Structure 1
Amino acid sequence: MMALKAIGKGPTWPPSFPTDFPLGRVSMTLLKRFSTLQWLAIGVALQSLAATNLPATEPSPNRITRTVQAIRNAQPAVVNIEGTKPANPTSNYREAQQVNGMGAGVIVHPEGYILTNQHVVQDVGRIEVTLHNGRQLRARLLARDAGTDLALIKVESRPLPVIPLGTSSDLMLGEPVIAIGNPFGYRHTVTEGIISALHRNIPVNGVQEYPDLIQTDASINPGNSGGPLLNADGLMIGLNAAVRIGAQGIGFAIPVDKALDVTAQMVRNLRDTRQDRLSATTVYQQGDAHVQVTSSRMPQVKVGDKIVRLDGHPLQHHLQLELALLESGDSEALELEILRDQETVAIRLPVGTQSKSQIRLTSTSTPAERVSQVLGMRLQPIDPAMVRSVDDSYKGGMRVLSVSRGGPADRAQIRPGDILVGLLEWQTPNWDDLEWILDSDELSEAGSAKFHIIRGKDVFWGTLDL
């Protein structure tokens, strides 16, 4: 177990060869006897030999099948996700063992937003993402939905290639599909199969099931989770999610329409929507999807209008609009193209930003207020001797007085009476140490944070979703 940290001349080159080496003298003598014509003949022969071994610049058209083209189109937007997580998240901290977790994800926005399964990143302290070009980045968890097993993470890199989107509204039994993932750590593994069934409801434990899944016989193994299921055109029509243990050729994927709808709502929950001038949803028809306005406070935009372009780019799903609003920052407006009665109208959509007065207010709050805002609980320092009587490796702790309903502490099942003794990799014996952690880059960049508490006579740990 790793304890928590307390806050407080070369060889000469080229080498010289001996002049009395017999083979060296003989070789040099023989080389001098070659004529210029002989040297030219040797050169031509070597060039001819090299030319016969050079690979062709492009394989023959017969080899570049639709499957190959589909993979080429989608693979740059598929990432591998790895990290360590506890073998048993409910176990006592001192007995917890770490295991390697792995999966995949798809880039859904060029600013580094990645969609994956919740179970791929759940309880992972440090999420490591490997891009298609081999570059490794650290990601933070932004949001997750346990009911659909979806999660949204983000890396700080831009611009990134985005997965080509299809629709699951017109899927056919027997149509070919391609799965890309990270099974058992074999990165960017590609398998092929067909759609075996639609609208499968799959139980995952005694109280939960995943509804309305796509069943496929494309080989899906542990580590494929979060990777895309593609159609023959290379468009994502599902997100690989589960496999039937003990069976062969039975895998399941979340339909892409549902996955994107849920993710859009997760993104919407991340931002202040009070200043929104309009809202939209995605309408699905057989083989078609378009973004439609559902409410508007702008006179030039009507309910039912179709939004066809966003900042000059085709708009396929309202998730793209939600992410653009989340990323808008100091932008004055987004450029939209509206389609109404077969006519296109260009409009500017004003976006609201957080006021500087709000930022200053947050930065001058007391440590107790900041803990309440960020972690969702009220704390009070206690006698360090009480903590050391349970585990003398801790310098002290903070007793939980109350927990905000629905906040991070409440969701992590922290209770009044628990004693917070650690957050991330540092101890929390007093307000000064806790404030230092709140100001750290590690916490500000983290989507979740591991915590350590004393409950009764035992030390436990869990994860706070921030």
Structure 2
Amino acid sequence: MIARCLMFILLVLPVVVSAASYNLPDFTPLIEKSSPAVVKINTVTKVKQGGFNLPPGQQIPDIFRHLFEPRQMPERNMHSMGSGFFISSDGYLLTNYHVIEDADQIVVRLVDRREFKAMVIGSDPRSDLALLKVDEEKLPYLELAKDDALRIGEWVVAIGSPFGLDFSASAGIVSAIGRSIPTDKNENYVPFIQTDVAINPGNSGGPLFNMEGKVVGVNSQIYTRSGGSIGLSFAIPSSVAMNVVSQLKEKGHVDRGWLGVVIQEVDKNLADSFGLKKPQGALVAQMEPGGPADKSGIQVGDIILKFDKNSILTSGDLPHVVGSTSPGSEVPVVVMRKGKRKTIYATVGRLEGADTPGSVTSIENGMGTDRLGLVVEVVDVALRDKWRISGGVLVTQVDPLGVAADAGVTPGDVIAQLGFEQIDSLDDYVRVLKGLPSDSLQPIRFFRDGRPTFRTIRLQ
């Protein structure tokens, strides 16, 4: 009996292994064909060394004073590296902005060991992309995919120089699409591709391929606690890269659409209070006075559900589609206002700079506010001017056992809206508060340290 079982295992095992091998993709042709167009990028940045600064008021004996006199300090070279790839045969190549940022010298090396000095044609910090050029013809190049037909679970391959290990290949699958990852300036204009491909320092700027050999993304960043790959890597979609490359070639800079709103996520409670069947859209918490949204008729408290032809499922979707819209375009915007859908036509503005006020940003959710247990007073003119608000009531005391405390209201908050009514004065607050129905979720808008936020309240 045992012998028969062993014989059965021996007969079946080769079939199972063969089937498993047959179903796995063969990356060899793709890597052999694509590697010649991938480059390693070495940069040199000249940094002035600091000298010794005498503390203010400190006295030094004359015999030692010459040791602390200002003198010219020598420069030192800082070296860094990354990856990139040619996108045309005449020497244009693409990489990350952070790879070449502040570089005084850029050298690219091909897999056949040829080296060329590169110049910067243009860069775009918001998308973390830079377009370079080398003075050479008939170079191998890669094709950017013209659509965003990626699917979660699809095989993808990366080639780059992780930790200086030139032209290393790694493979994995697409883990998610359209990831919103705000920058340190709270900007969010790239719907990142998330993969489990092993990406490490040095891979930045390298290509991410689909199985057809087309570049579907530019590897940009990883999430890690150790400094190495843990299976969370993010790439800039090819559609974003194509738009940036086109503008950098034409103008040397990138123009982005601007709506002039501050938005936040819609949670279940907010969705219920605004009459939505499920959480979706981007809630307008504040607008730039005189900005595109303000001029179009969009109002604070509107939930943007659709922008042009794009459905807005989360608040992070809105900056992606607004930023990619050409300034001056008139687009339909579907909003939910007081429980009813409304279509508004907005003319998109131009986002001028990284610090442009009113650019599309997002704010975090919290617990909410309420009237019960609150002591409020008039907002003084100085605070209104400082926070750029027209009215509201200032919360001065919060009963720790009241509904407001449960909702997270703190002294110093300025309530600007209750339900769907704007609060400009104490009279407004008393009138609106009295008319709010009990045992129902209601939206409330308030300012904290000058930052607008929507929450929900449930009056008992």
User: Could you state the TM-score of these two structures normalised by the residue count of structure 1?
Assistant: 0.42
Higher relative contact order (CA 8 A, sep 6+): 1
User: Could you state the TM-score of these two structures normalised by the residue count of structure 2?
Assistant: 0.42
